Every structure is written in structure tokens, then in C-alpha cells.
Amino acid sequence: MQINLSELFVCEGKVMQYEIPIEMDEFVTASGKYPLTEKKPLQLMITHSKNRNLKICGNLDLHMTIPCDRCLEPVDNHLQIAFERDVDANATEEERIEALDEQPYMNGYNLDVDLLVYGELVVNMPMKVLCRNDCKGICNRCGANLNYETCACDVTELDPRMSVIRDIFNQSGIVSSHSSESSRRKQKKKKK
């Protein structure tokens, strides 16, 4: 949705408030599609501070469904995002793209609300999502969700991360010192 801001430019100091329904139903990125639910309308307060410079203050309140990093079950994330943007309407579109380093949400006197919201979601999307802190994830051999079931796979043999840890132990001599300890104990037993 585009909103026309030409009223704001009539005089410096003018303030306008907007409440705009969010049309986007999913947030689509290179990494996937994330459904947006329970969307409250975007609250915007835009001020013509001076000399065709706008200050945009916004509030987003919505839920985004993101798969758990470990078990891939969908997780509901409540996002409450307060943001501020400064826009210099004197700048050319090229200058604005460069300055904002993102999609140009201002186009002449029009504000592209979807692009503005998209940019905020990119910046504020949670980096780490877990269904619960102690999520056990899924077995990487049989795909069982280990929160609900245990499987018979010998994970230690298959998980490459485990062999890396074993290598570190071997190199640091921890494993060998343990084995020499036990062999010493065995020798003592033999002496008795």
C-alpha cells in the first residue's frame, strides 16, 4: 500500500498520524517463507521536521511463525518493533537508495508501506528460534523428533561433530592419558 505524504510538505513542523493495515501475509526471504499472523495495523507518526526532511516513527506489532532451529516445528514469535527513519525528500532516488542501503520505500511523495515494513522485518527477525530452550532436535539419521521419541540410531557414530570432538580429545592427549592411567591400574592389579 502506498500513502501520499504531500500534505506534510505544505509547511515545516507538520505532523501526521496514520494507522495502516498490514497487507503482507507472509514474510518471504531467501531462507524461506514465514507466515505473519495477529497483525495489528502499523502505527505511523510522520513529522516534516525542516527543509523537506521527514522523521518517520513507527510501531509494528505482529506474530511471525518461524521453524525451530533444531526440530523445525513451527514457533510463534511475537514481534513488537518501534522504529525511526529519517528521509531527506530533497535527495534523488539514487541518493536515497545509497543512503538507506535498502529498497526505496519513498517514491516522490509516496511512502510504500509494504517496503517499509519489509525492511523492518529484515532487521528485526529473530536470529535464533527455539521451540523451547532444551529442544533436543531431530535425529539426523532417521528424522525422529527427539522431543517426543527416542530412536535406536547410534548418533555418536554418525554425527560428524562428535568425531571432531573425539579428534580434539585424542590430540590433546586426554584420551591417551586416561588409557595410560587405566593400564597402570591394570598393572598394579597384576602385581597383586
Judged by the rule CB under 5 A, the positions of this chain that interact with Zn ion are 68, 70-71, 131, 135, 139, 141-142, 144, 151, 153
Separation CA 37–CA 16 (nearest Å): 27
35 vs 143, which CB is nearer to Zn ion? 143
Give how far Cα 93 sits from Cα of 12, 16, 56, 102, 107, Å: 22, 23, 18, 12, 7
- Min separation Cβ 100 and Zn ion, Å: 36
82 vs 142, which CB is nearer to Zn ion? 142
Length of the chain: 192
Separation CA 138–CA 145 (nearest Å): 4
Strand order in the sheet with 110-112: 2-4, 110-112, 106-107
75 vs 116, which CB is nearer to Zn ion? 75
- Residue that has been written with the C-alpha cell 508501506 in this structure: 113
20 vs 130, which CB is nearer to Zn ion? 130
Separation CA 87–CA 84 (nearest Å): 10
- Min separation Cβ 179 and Zn ion, Å: 30
- Min separation Cβ 33 and Zn ion, Å: 19
- Min separation Cβ 78 and Zn ion, Å: 17
- Min separation Cβ 59 and Zn ion, Å: 30
Question: What does R_g of the chain's alpha carbons equal in angstroms?
Answer: 28
79 vs 151, which CB is nearer to Zn ion? 151
